[in-house]
Amino acid sequence: MNRRKFITSTIAVTASLGLGSTMFSAFSEPAFKKSRTALAIEQQWRKFLPKSYSGSLVLTPLKLSKQEWQQRLSSAAFRVLREEQTERPGSSILNEQHGKGIYACEGCDLPLFTSAMKFESGTGWPSFTTHIPGHLATKKDYKMIWPRTEYHCIRCGGHQGHVFNDGPKPTGQRWCNNGVALKFVAMNPS
């Protein structure tokens, strides 16, 4: 069975079982014990902001209408951030981004990750071992039959990706992100 047929049949089964819609649980952080290294990486995120960074770091929710989001985002970013779709693996230029800086939400510019958190997962999507504390919220996603942990930008609610427990040290987690949902802001812009 090829991937497309598997996904199509999975969607049909979940719909027939009444599991097709996302079932919300309280937004929370996945439970795992953080090492000192992980805590240090999370706490030092501001050193990756360019001195000229003008984006807001305020966490006040940003609420826009569907039409306002469509005007603000590319069609690909809209599908991922607002409709919770997934971009094709290997399609993001951020896979090849190795400079120092931050990865901010494409929807609202809130910093979500730093280059120190990024690693090459081989999955075709930008992946991170951890994130900037307080900038992401999670919920359970049952779209693929088995539960996954989906995460969103805390400010605009934009869908970013899913977190898995198969990443490298220091956290053992892989925050697998849609590249189109992020923008890279270089630490030292040229």
Catalytic residues: 176
Query: Encoding tokens for residue 51?
Result: 């001195």
| 68/177 Cα distance (integer angstroms) | 23
Q: Tokens 């003008």: give the residue.
A: 54
Q: Single out the residue of 182, 72, 76 nearest to residue 125, CA to CA.
A: 182
Identify which of 120, 109, 119 has the alpha carbon closest to the alpha carbon of residue 158. Answer: 109
Q: Residue 13 is which amino acid? A: V
Q: What share of the chain is helix, strand, coil (3-state, %, to 5)?
A: 25, 25, 50
Report yes or no: 160 and 105 within 8 Å, Cβ to Cβ: yes
Two tokens, residue 36? 């000192």
Structure token digits, residue 170:
């220091």
Neighbours of 179 (CB within 10 A): 27
